[in-house]
Amino acid sequence: MSQTLATVITGASSGIGEALACQLAAKEKQALVLVARRQDKLANLAAELRTKHGVRVEVIGLDLEQVGAATQLVAAVEALGLSIDMLINNAGFGLNDNFGDMAIDRVQGMMQLNMVALTELTHAVLPSMRERKQGRIMNIASVAAFQACPNFAVYGATKSYVLMFSEALAAEEKKNGIKVIAVCPGATATAFHDVAGNHGTFLTKIMDTPETVAKTALCAMKCGCPMVVTGLMNKPLPFFIRLMPRQCVTWMAGKLAAR
Ligand X SMILES: NC(=O)c1ccc[n+]([C@@H]2O[C@H](COP(=O)([O-])OP(=O)(O)OC[C@H]3O[C@@H](n4cnc5c(N)ncnc54)[C@H](OP(=O)(O)O)[C@@H]3O)[C@@H](O)[C@H]2O)c1
Active site residue 155: yes
Q: Which of 43, 111, 124, 195 binds ligand X (CB under 6 A)?
A: 195
Residue 93 vs 99, nearer CB to ligand X: 93
Q: Which stretch binds ligand X (CB under 6 A): 62-70, 98-106, 234-242, 248-256?
A: 62-70
What count of other Cβ atoms lies within 10 Å of the Cβ of residue 38?
A: 12
Which residue of the set 146, 152, 155, 161 is catalytic? 155
- Does position 139 bind ligand X by CB under 6 A? no
Q: Which residue lies nearer to ligand X by CB, 177 or 206?
A: 206
What's the min distance (Å) between Cβ of 26 and ligand X?
Answer: 18
Judge residue 68's burial from the number of C-beta atoms within 10 Å of its C-beta, 0-12 exposed, 13-18 middle, 19 or more buried. Answer: exposed
Q: At what angle do helices 69-79 and 118-132 cross, to 10 degrees?
A: 40
Interface positions, 3-32, toward ligand X (CB under 6 A):
10-17
Q: Kindly compute the dihedral angle of the four CA atoms of residues 160, 238, 187, 10, in this order, to the nearest 10 degrees.
A: -40
As measured in angstroms, the least distance from the Cβ of 222 to ligand X is 20
**Nearest distance in Å: CB 19, ligand X:** 8
CB 63 within 8 A of CB 93: no
Binding-residue total with ligand X (CB under 6 A): 30
Q: Using CA atoms, how far apart are residues 220 and 183, in angstroms rounded to an integer?
A: 9
Q: How far is the CB of 177 from ligand X (least distance, A)?
A: 26
Q: How far is the CB of 109 from ligand X (least distance, A)?
A: 7
Give the per-residue contact string, 94-133, with ligand X (x = CB under 6 A; - = no).
x------------------x--------------------
Stretch that binds ligand X, among 76-84, 125-133, 189-197, 221-229 (CB under 6 A): 189-197
Cα–Cα dist 59/9, whole Å: 10
Measure the CA–CA gap between 130 and 146, rounded to whole angstroms. 30
Amino acid sitting at position 245: P
Of 155, 160, 234, nearest to 195 by C-alpha is 155
Do residues 5 and 85 touch, judged by C-beta distance below 8 A?
yes
Active site residues: 155
Contacts to ligand X by CB under 6 A: 10-17, 36-38, 63-65, 90-94, 113, 140, 142, 185, 187-188, 190-192, 195, 210
